[in-house]
């Protein structure tokens, strides 16, 4: 099982999710650590190769962007509440910056 590593403020951001949404995100991340895919996800090619977005629909729309393609760990790049139909450019850019940090 891969370890889970949080980049930047992603752990604090995830802790700010409502308890039920946080629990669902945790179950999904556990599946990813075990080499499985989350139950509701989409690839985030704009962030980087192998990046995915977990979609949690509990008490609103919540997202966790992660990358699991590296051997050492699953990296959580960004966790946030989604308030619009399209993911905000700022959220994608922040996740992409953090992705570049772990590649270095």
Write down the pLDDT at residue 71. Answer: 87
Average pLDDT over residues 69-82: 95
Cβ atoms < 10 Å from Cβ of 5: 16
103 pLDDT exceeds 80?
Answer: no
The DSSP symbol for 100 reads H
How is domain 3-103 classified at the CATH fold level? YaeB-like fold (3.30.2310)
Average pLDDT over residues 19-42: 96
The CA distance from 91 to 79, in Å, is 9
Least confident interval from 6-10, 49-53, 83-87: 83-87
Write down the pLDDT at residue 104. Answer: 67
The pTM of this model reads 0.95
Sorted by where each begins, the domain ranges of the chain are 3-103
């Amino acid at each position: 099982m891969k370890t889970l590593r949080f980049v930047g403020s992603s752990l604090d951001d995830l802790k700010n999710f409502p308890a039920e949404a946080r629990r669902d995100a945790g179950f999904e991340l556990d599946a990813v650590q075990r080499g499985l895919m989350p139950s509701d996800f989409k690839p985030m090619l704009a962030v980087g190769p192998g990046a995915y977005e977990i979609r949690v629909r509990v008490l609103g729309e919540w997202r966790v962007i992660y990358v699991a393609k590296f051997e050492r760990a699953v990296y959580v790049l960004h966790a946030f509440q989604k308030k619009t139909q399209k993911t905000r450019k700022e959220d994608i850019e922040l996740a992409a910056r953090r992705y570049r940090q772990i590649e270095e």
